[in-house]
């Protein structure tokens, strides 16, 4: 396997302030043969201009649901492996390349740990995701045990799972990744180092647990009729939280510091991406 077997899909809508850093993180993969497909929802800013020279194909998708755009881009992919990346996040291409060239042939999806960065790309803290055996019991507590950032999967798997369920505007990735684990598809966790970075901005810092994404998580668990004992829920949640204790503490302290300020220094909040789609 190689980068030539990989397509990365980027859904976009008015992301001129963040898209360049995202595309630059993908450039080594592109130069090695990976294809980059941008699915734009008729941006009215300079998004398309900023992406010139960085992408192989631009598709147009009506706004309303980010996952419709992602499905469109994956459908257009001609490679064995696919991934998607939000237009304000980044991946670390060396880890993706080395895993593509070393992962077992039977693997259908791989993922890894992520960093958190501020709006300007400065490191805030890391985050350790657990192995595949944690995915289902943590999902029962509405915790997604895989970050979509740097997660790569076979297009055949996307077909098997009928793509991302576009009934969900916020948590279709939670649903897709959970179904991959439930149906016993072969998942591989990259042990180290981190595979990418999630960009925090002020609007995300103010989100509450009762946000629409959590409501959709609850609906997904109910519709899948996920059955996990309370003992397993508590055990796996404790193990997950304990592994990330210091990261949770750092995140809490940073969150309090940032949200107590009138505004993040140098941080211009981009549009609410999922709401706009």
> Coil, strand, or helix at residue 180?
helix
Is 154 among the domain residues?
A: yes
The CA distance from 83 to 98, in Å, is 15
Q: Is 227 exposed, middle or buried (0-12, 13-18, 19+ CB in 10 A)?
A: exposed
For residue 259, cis peptide bond before it (omega within 30 degrees of 0) = no
Q: How confident is the model at residue 162 (pLDDT cuts 50, 70, 90)?
A: very high
Please report which helix (H) or strand (E) contains residue 84, including its range: strand 81-84
Give the CA distances from residue 130 to residues 82, 114, 153, 157, in Å, rounded to whole numbers and listed in that order. 22, 12, 18, 21
DSSP code, position 226: -
State the pLDDT at residue 120: 83
CATH number at residue 46: 3.90.550.10
Give the bridge partners for 35, in sequence order.
7
Give CA–CA dist 181/184, Å, rounded: 5
Q: For residue 133, tell me if it sits in a domain.
A: yes
Q: Which residues have CB under 8 Å from 33's CB, separation 6+?
A: 2, 3, 4, 6
Residue 12 pairs with which residues in a beta bridge? 40
* Alpha-helix runs per DSSP H in the chain: 19-31, 47-50, 66-76, 93-100, 135-139, 155-160, 172-182, 202-205, 212-224, 230-243, 245-259, 273-276
User: Do residues 220 and 169 touch, judged by C-beta distance below 8 A?
Assistant: no
pLDDT 10s digits, 53-93: 999 999 999 999 999 999 999 999 999 999 999 999 999 99
In a domain, 73, yes or no: yes
pTM: 0.86
Residue 28, domain extent: 3-262
Q: Is residue 269 assigned to a domain?
A: no
Residue 163 φ then ψ, to 5°: 70, -165
Residue 36 in any domain: the answer is yes
Assigned domain for 89 exists: yes
Identify the pLDDT of residue 203: 53
Could you say which DSSP state residue 7 is in?
E
SS3 97: helix
Number of structural domains (the chain) is 1
User: What pLDDT is recorded for position 33?
Assistant: 95
Q: Is residue 277 one of the residues assigned to a domain?
A: no
For β-strands 90-91 and 35-40, DSSP reports them as unpaired
- pLDDT for 251 beyond 90: no
Look at residue 268 and tell me if it is in a domain: no
Q: Tell me what pLDDT residue 61 has.
A: 96
pLDDT tens-digit series, residues 99-121? 999 999 999 999 999 998 888 88
């Amino acid at each position: 396997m190689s980068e030539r077997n990989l397509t990365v899909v980027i859904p976009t809508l008015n992301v001129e302030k963040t898209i360049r850093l995202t595309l630059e993180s993908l450039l080594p993969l592109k130069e090695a043969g990976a294809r980059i497909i941008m699915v734009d929802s008729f941006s009215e800013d300079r998004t398309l201009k900023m992406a010139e020279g960085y992408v192989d194909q631009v598709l147009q998708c009506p706004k309303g649901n980010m996952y419709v755009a992602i499905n469109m881009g994956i459908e257009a992919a001609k490679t064995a492996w696919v991934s998607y990346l939000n237009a304000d996040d980044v991946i670390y291409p060396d880890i993706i390349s080395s895993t593509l060239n070393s992962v077992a042939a039977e693997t259908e999806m791989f993922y890894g740990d992520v960093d958190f960065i501020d709006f300007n790309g400065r490191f805030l803290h890391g985050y350790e995701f657990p192995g595949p055996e944690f995915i289902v019991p943590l999902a029962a507590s509405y915790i997604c045990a895989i970050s979509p950032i740097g997660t790569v999967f076979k297009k055949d798997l996307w077909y098997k799972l009928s793509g991302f369920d576009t009934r969900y505007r916020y948590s279709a990735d939670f649903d897709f990744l959970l179904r991959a684990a439930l149906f016993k598809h072969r998942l591989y966790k990259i042990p180290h180092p981190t595979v990418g970075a999630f960009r925090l901005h002020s609007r995300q810092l103010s989100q509450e647990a009762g946000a629409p994404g959590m409501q959709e998580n609850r609906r997904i668990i109910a519709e899948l009729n996920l059955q996990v004992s309370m003992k397993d829920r508590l055990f796996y949640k404790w193990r997950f939280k304990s592994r990330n204790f210091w990261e949770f503490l750092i995140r809490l302290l940073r969150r309090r510091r940032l949200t107590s300020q009138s505004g993040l220094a140098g941080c211009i909040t981009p549009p609410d991406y999922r709401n706009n789609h």
